[in-house]
Structure 1
Amino acid sequence: MFSKTIFKQTLKANFKLWFIFTIIMSVFSGVLIAVFDPKTLSSMSDMVKDTPLANMLGSTTFLGILSQTFYSVQGVILPLIFVIMTANSLIASQVDRGSMAYLLSTPIKRSTVVRTQAIYLVSSLIAMFTILSIVGVVSVQAFQNDIDFNILDLLILNLGLFLLMFATSSISFLFSCIFNLSKNSLAFGAGIPLAFFLFELMGKVDSSLEGFKYISLNTLFDTDAIINNGDYWIQFTLLGVIGIVLYAIGIRVFKGKDLPL
């Protein structure tokens, strides 16, 4: 069911990529928290008033700004790129290069291989967002300890972003399991998540394009509901269920499909 040897090899092969994206995300988060200034942001809000950018800026509270910047752009696109690259490399790229044939020539079962790769991808996201949460809390204590806000809301934002990436990674992993060629895996495993990101962003920039966000998985990560004590647990649950189901389908597909070995 799980191979420690394969997990260690996968961890070693992908550690540099994971480390780079985790550091970049943490730096972005820390810097945005450190430079937050209510007065400056209030002035910016007045400047973009009655323009499409006003829809993106939204609330000028501490968590409001974070939700409309980091948790809508940098914090989404950076792990999204990591997920796309990693999911493809774990299965489809290895089949494409022929290294999967070598791996499956060992006594290790195909089901064990694909489960181990799925476990690595999910655990790498857990580690990434755990570090991001720690950096966020430490940065708030170091730079914004005079701001009155609930630190739990910041942690819930990180949980919601993790669940979004968990569901998104399941899409990329599914197509990595379906296709034997990297170009096909990336066409769908990258194309669909990137389309979701752009659709949701378009809906925020222009109210006339709001309909696009309703066909985006990213809409389930409702930052406004989190910072305004709204209802978000149903969306969180849906993201978790989508991730579990698509990972299960991907594993099943890879176990049963013909491979060019």
Structure 2
Amino acid sequence: MFSKTIFKQTLKTNVKLWLIFTIIMSVLCAVLIAVFDASTLSSMSEMVKDTPLASLLGSTTFLGMLAQTFYSIHGVILPLIFVIMTANSLIAAQVDRGSMAYLLSTPIKRSTVVRTQAIYLVLSLVAMFVILTIVGVLSVHTFQSDIDLNISDLIMLNVGLFLLMFATSSISFLFSCIFNLSKNSLAFGAGIPLAFFLFEMMGKVDSSLEGFKYLSLNSLFDTNAIINNDIYVIQFILLGAVGIVLYLIGIRVFKEKDLPL
């Protein structure tokens, strides 16, 4: 079911990459919180009014600013890159360079190997977003203590972003399990998530392109619904369901496919 030895080795191999992205995201989040100024943001809103940039700038409230910047752009693209790189390295890259053949020559079952790698990817995201949430909450109390803010909304933004990355990571992991070559794994495991991100951005920038966002998994992470207390639980459930199903399919595919051993 799970191998502590493989998990420790995977952790040792990937911890530097995880640290880099976690630190960058945490620092960026803290900086955006620290520099928030409602009057400055209002002036910027006036400058870009009636332009496509107005929809990206969004609300002049504190959470509105965070939702339309960090939780829609920076906080999506950074963990997305981490997920793409890590998912490919866990399975496809090891098959491609032959190290998977060595690993499977041991008494450890193939099913144990792929489950352990999947567990690592999910837990690395959990740890990343727990730290990001703590940094965000502490930064609000430190730099924006005078703002009337419902901390639970900030926490739910992080929960929603985690679920989006969980679902996205399942796509990259699935294609890492399907393909034996890194170039093929990355073509789909990176191409589809990046297309989802671009479709979502296109739908926000131009109303005539709004239909594109409905082709994107990212549209299920509705930051406006969270900060306005609208319905978002169903979207969260769908993201979680997509992630679980695709991880299970990826594990099954790897268990049953032919490998160049």
Q: TM-score range by the shorter chain?
A: over 0.9
**Once the two structures are superposed, what CA deviation does each residue of 1:70-101 show, in whole Å capped at 9, x if it has no partner?**
00000000000000000000000000000000
Superposed CA RMSD in Å reads 0.3
Equivalent positions of 1:124-143 (< 5 A) are: 124-143=124-143
TM-score w.r.t. the length of structure 2 is: 1.00
Distance in 2 (alpha carbons) for counterparts of 1:200 and 1:40: 27
**Once the two structures are superposed, what CA deviation does each residue of 1:124-143 show, in whole Å capped at 9, x if it has no partner?**
00000000000000000000
Which residue does 1:205 correspond to in 2? 205
Number of aligned positions between the proteins:
261
Equivalent positions of 1:44-123 (< 5 A) are: 44-123=44-123
Q: Residue 41 in 1 paired to residue 36 in 2? A: no
Equivalent positions of 1:233-244 (< 5 A) are: 233-244=233-244
TM-score w.r.t. the length of structure 1 is: 1.00
Q: Give the 4+ runs in structure 1 shifted more than 6 A.
A: none
Distance in 2 (alpha carbons) for counterparts of 1:202 and 1:27: 27
Which residue does 1:250 correspond to in 2? 250
Which residue does 2:162 correspond to in 1? 162
Distance in 1 (alpha carbons) for counterparts of 2:14 and 2:140: 30
Which residue does 1:9 correspond to in 2? 9
Aligned residue type for 2:133: S
Any idea what SS the aligned residue of 1:250 has?
helix
Unpaired segments ≥5 residues, structure 2: none
**Once the two structures are superposed, what CA deviation does each residue of 1:159-210 show, in whole Å capped at 9, x if it has no partner?**
0000000000000000000000000000000000000000000111111110
Distance in 2 (alpha carbons) for counterparts of 1:134 and 1:52: 33
Aligned residue type for 1:155: I
**Once the two structures are superposed, what CA deviation does each residue of 1:193-246 show, in whole Å capped at 9, x if it has no partner?**
000000000111111110100000000000000000000000000000000000
Deviates more, 1:130-139 or 1:51-60: 51-60
Which residue does 2:229 correspond to in 1? 229
Any idea what SS the aligned residue of 1:195 has?
helix
1:56, distance to aligned residue in structure 2 (A): 1.0
Aligned residue type for 2:248: A
Distance in 1 (alpha carbons) for counterparts of 2:45 and 2:147: 19
Unpaired segments ≥5 residues, structure 1: none
1:110, distance to aligned residue in structure 2 (A): 0.1
